[in-house]
Structure 1
Amino acid sequence: MQKCSLAVDIGASSGRLIAGYLQDGKMILEEIHRFENKLIEINGHFCWNIEKLFSEIKKGIHKTKKKNFIPESIGIDTWAVDFVLLDENDELLTDAVSYRDSRTDGMMEEVFTIVSKERLYLETGIQFQKFNTIYQLYYLKKNNPEVLEKAKTFLMVPDYLNYLLTGEKINEYTNATSTQLVNAFTKKWDKELLEQLGINKEMFQKILPPKSLIGNVRHELVDEFGFNLEVILPATHDTGSAVLAVPEVDDTIYISSGTWSLIGVENRFPICITKALDYNFTNEGGMDFSFRFLKNIMGLWMMQEVKQNYNNKYSFAEFVEMANQEEHFNSKVNVDDDRFLKPENMIKEIKLYCKETNQLVPQTPGEIAKCVFDSLAVSYQNAINQIEGIYEKNFQKINVIGGGSKNEMLNQLIADTTNKEVVAGPTEATAIGNIAAQLMALNKIDNIKNVRSLINESFELKTYTKKQKVEG
């Protein structure tokens, strides 16, 4: 039986439990369990089925013994901003409403009438997105004040899953920063801001950093699993875990490529300056209280929706192959337009945008895919220009991590568009970062520098450079 740590990595469309351990100077990963995650409609809102997610986590833990693993620890990461509220009896007061729900439409602008946009940014350093937790809570304040009055506990999605495992209530640092309610300098809940908004500050929990031990799983779960298990905090915001797995951060811009594309650099301090505000960059918390200075760009979500619109007739690899055959199709969309956040039909929305902007309207699956990939590359280039403008320097390298790093066409497009060296990998960046945080907490890896050396030794990376045009 192989001892391991378990990474629970849950994204917008699926979740996995991955076993990780060290062997012969390398990190070894093995997938234990995979499950679907999708939005369900409850009471007129798009929500996550959080009870099902916890059930799948338990199912995965049960599978470890069948796969000849003995897990010593477990860590959970998910997307950011979404949360639940508990009452005085620790019962759910709210559903886990998704950031893709339309309930926050107009809320951001209303908050600005109470707290200025500039003050919000200068204190929290977080970019303005209509679905940030602050605007979700303000929606409740305005439309369901009785819920907020009854609320005794605020837990983000991974915090709640950790509570179900351990019975301990905490808020993890990297995910807490995404709420736009944590002061970037004190790294604590901004109580003055909460008071201004009329939101009960007592329901927020103590903020703990990654690598913190929460505790062991509940006694009844020890009986159910047949073994004990330490619950350790990774960066519970999946991007925070993924960025830990960037093989090299010096002079490198990273793109965490998945449902969303997160493009930025790692910093030791927040950049809360006017230019960063104007460009809508964020300063999200990272490992060891570092900052992820990045921009949130619509990512492969668009292709996930396109795939569904075609009734899953084509695989992602087939879309790439078909897009490669449409070399002369050049229409592009603004991937960050809110119309692409949760459209009824992504293909129709892409076609409509091209028509409205007097471009050639894509007709075939290959043209649709080419349009999306080209548009993402242009959006990346714009963000890189902004980063380099803020830093007043040119970065030599781009590291693409996460599931999107498998998309060779997009990697080449990024190299061609930016004229920079693109290093693709590791693909399982989030799980790697999750496992690495646990191994550091267990004193099996000394520090982040050693984590990154380990990643370079353990996982395949592929380099892309700009294609030279052939004359004549």
Structure 2
Amino acid sequence: MEKYYLAVDIGASSGRHILGTVKDGNMVLEEIYRFENGMKRMGERLCWDVESLFAEIKEGMKACKKLGKIPVSMGIDTWAVDFVLLDREGKLLSEAVGYRDDRTKGMDEEVYKTIPLLSLYERTGIQKQIFNTIYQLMAVKKQTPEHLKEAETFLMIPDYFHYLLTGVKKQEYTNATTTQLVSPETGTWDYDLIQSLGLPEGLFLPLSMPGTLAGGLAPQIIEEVGFDCQVVLPATHDTASAVMAVPVVPGGSMEDLLYISSGTWSLMGTELLKADCSVKSMEANFTNEGGYDYRYRYLKNIMGLWMIQSVRKELSRQGEEYSFAQLCDMASRESISSLVDCNDSVFLAPESMIQAVREYCRNHNQQEPKTPGEISAVIYNSLAVCYEKTIKELESITGKTYPAIHVVGGGSQAEYLNQLTADMTGRTVYAGPGEATAIGNLLAQMLSFHEFDDLKQAREGVYRSFAVKEYRPQKGKK
């Protein structure tokens, strides 16, 4: 009898339910449900509709029942940094505000009144991003302090969904590290830091590692979806799950892997066994996020395909419909040489991404892109240049040489960008698997049920199970 596992992978723009099983040491996937997601304006804030998302989670579970494929376990991963506060009855105290909301404006300076940026990095190893949880919590403290007074529990978004499923409150490690409130030395909350910031220590529960059993489904959930199963914590930060799925050639080494988890964001880096919290690392804006088995995801956040996703939506509103493949094809035919800094804050949440790209080029005395093909070319070329710069910084800091790049996630299907990256960096690019986050989610569950002996064997299984496409640098293309 086949043993099924269910990954619920929720990204910033969509979510999906994927069933996985292991046959003869290989993983087999089946997508059974998909739904839309996105921040919504709720009053003055950009928020996540967590009630709607949880309803979609349950609808996907019902799809398992209809198929007669009941999972032995399930787990949920999402994006990072966002959270909810619950009162003593386990109810939400406010909407789930999203990371693109502007409530954190000026909150970095409020934090630095207590702890300077350098000391904060040395203490946590997490790069500064104005939407990090630490700044969001400072915004709550300054703007709605009554919520902190009334709150009993702090839960990251996937932790909240697991709580709704089981009635058990667990705080998972990998996502918790993105709060900038976890010590890489102890692997748990930095309670001294939390206390010094004036945040209630009691909100923060002991951290649980990926693979931890949260419990069975609550009775009301069993009645609603028609079955019971175990809820196992995956690496609930989607990038942590994606990195778990970076393939390893059977018999090869897990060390010195260079990856890009490519989606709305491009997360580019390697894995370290010990966090690098040095000044040099901070100045290069690298972060030390927690990974499976206390491996550190040493990476840089790059704006990623958010820019091209935004352009595509904007063109659609104007009546011009293009697929991503079409935008890639048009971009490949252009010769425009203009570049933008993908990490510039002007691209975080502009009213018009097209105008933001054009204005950046104009303000930097470069040719202004006019057509959808030129705009796409500027974005894709800029991403490849950013990847090249990041590799040089990474090699300078680690003292290692990385001969190849593994691109995983939805962006691994962007063939034009993959070839650009190979040409620009002079390295072979291995693209795939595309559903890396869901695969990593499933791996954590499968490891918990002993389908694989360890992470290395699981990654070798990924290599065997899924197509990986190779892109070699083309001479004279850089």
1:236 aligns with: 236
Cα distance, 1:252 vs structure 2: 2.6
**Structure 2 contact 447–453 (Cα < 8 Å) conserved:** yes
Question: How far apart, CA to CA, are the structure 2 residues paired with 1:203 and 1:462?
Answer: 45
Partner residue of 2:311 out of 306, 314, 318: 306
Matches within 5 A, 1:333-348: 333-348=340-355
Aligned letter for 2:370? Q
Aligned 8 A contact 2:210 2:444 in 1: yes
Count of aligned positions: 469
Structure 2 unaligned regions, length at least 5: 249-253
Shift of 1:14: 0.1
Q: Is the 8 A contact 1:2 1:68 kept in 2?
A: no
* Equivalence for 1:259: 264
In 2, the alpha carbon distance for the partners of 1:303 and 1:86 equals 36
Identity of aligned residues (%): 51
Aligned match for 2:414, one of 391, 407, 412: 407
Q: Deviations over 1:292-323 (max 9, x none)?
A: 00000100000110001101611111101111
1:285 paired residue number = 290
Partner amino acid, structure 1, of 2:136: Q
Assess if the C-alpha contact under 8 Å between 1:252 and 1:396 holds in 2.
no
Question: Which residue of 334, 351, 362 maps to 1:355?
Answer: 362
Q: Is 1:275 the counterpart of 2:280 in the alignment?
A: yes
How many Å apart are 1:2 and its aligned residue?
4.6
Shift of 1:70: 1.7
Q: Give 2:394's aligned residue.
A: 387
Decide whether the 8 Å contact of 2:241 with 2:439 is kept in 1: yes
Alignment correspondent of 2:299: 294
- Say whether residues 1:469 and 2:476 are aligned partners: yes
Contact residue 251 and residue 396 of structure 1 kept, 8 A: no
Residue 225 of structure 1: how far off its partner (Å):
2.2
Q: Kindly state the Cα deviation for residue 123 of structure 1 after the two structures are TM-superposed.
A: 1.2
Structure 2 residue identity aligned to 1:120: L
- Deviations along 1:199-244, one digit per CA (max 9) or x if unpaired, are 1111112210000000001012112222211000110000000000
Provide the rounded CA distance (Å) in 2 between the counterparts of 1:213 and 1:465: 42
Aligned partner letter, 1:375: S
For 1:426-437, list aligned pairs within 5 A. Answer: 426-437=433-444
Check conservation: 1:210, 1:233, Cα contact below 8 A.
yes
Q: 2:454 aligns with which of 414, 427, 447?
A: 447
Question: Is 1:251–1:397's contact at 8 Å kept on the other side of the alignment?
Answer: no
Match of 1:284, SS state, is strand
Matches within 5 A, 1:45-64: 45-64=45-64
Name 1:319's counterpart in structure 2.
327
Give the equivalent residue in structure 2 for 1:40.
40
Separation of aligned partners in 2, 1:349 and 1:244: 35
For structure 1, which segment, 8-17 or 83-92, has the greater mean C-alpha deviation from structure 2 after superposition?
83-92
Provide TM-score, normalisation by structure 1.
0.98
Alignment correspondent of 2:107? 107
Query: Aligned equivalents of 1:31 and 1:203: distance in 2?
Result: 36
Deviation at 1:31, TM superposition (A): 0.3
| Residue identity opposite 2:123 in structure 1 | E
The whole-number CA distance in structure 1 between the counterparts of 2:102 and 2:30 is 38
For residue 465 of structure 2, what is the aligned residue in structure 1?
458
Give the residue type in structure 2 aligned to 1:223.
Answer: E
Contact 1:267 1:290 in 2 (8 A): yes
- 8 Å CA contact 1:258–1:299 kept in 2: the answer is yes
Identify which range, 17-26 or 346-355, moves more after superposition: 17-26
User: For each residue in 1:230-281, what CA deviation from the matched residue of structure 2 results, as whole angstroms up to 9, or x when unmatched?
Assistant: 0001100000000000113433310000000000001111011110011111
- Displacement after TM superposition at 1:110 (Å): 2.1
User: Would the aligned equivalents of 2:65 and 2:226 in 1 still touch at CA under 8 Å?
Assistant: no
Instruction: Please name the residue that 1:204 is paired with.
Output: 204
**How much does 1:393 deviate?**
2.5
Shift of 1:144: 1.0
Aligned position for 1:86: 86
Structure 1 runs, 4 residues or longer, greater than 6 Å off: none
Q: Is the 8 A contact 1:320 1:409 kept in 2?
A: yes
Shift in Å at residue 111 of structure 1?
A: 1.0
- Structure 1 Cα separation of the partners of residues 133 and 301 of structure 2: 15
Q: 2:431 aligns with which of 424, 427, 431?
A: 424
What letter matches 2:305 in structure 1? L
| Matched letter for residue 423 of structure 2 | D
Alignment correspondent of 2:251? none
- SS at 1:169 equivalent: coil
Q: Distance in 1 between matches of 2:256 and 2:190?
A: 33
Q: In structure 1, the residue corresponding to 2:188 is in which secondary structure?
A: coil
Q: Matches of 1:142 and 1:226 in 2, distance apart?
A: 44
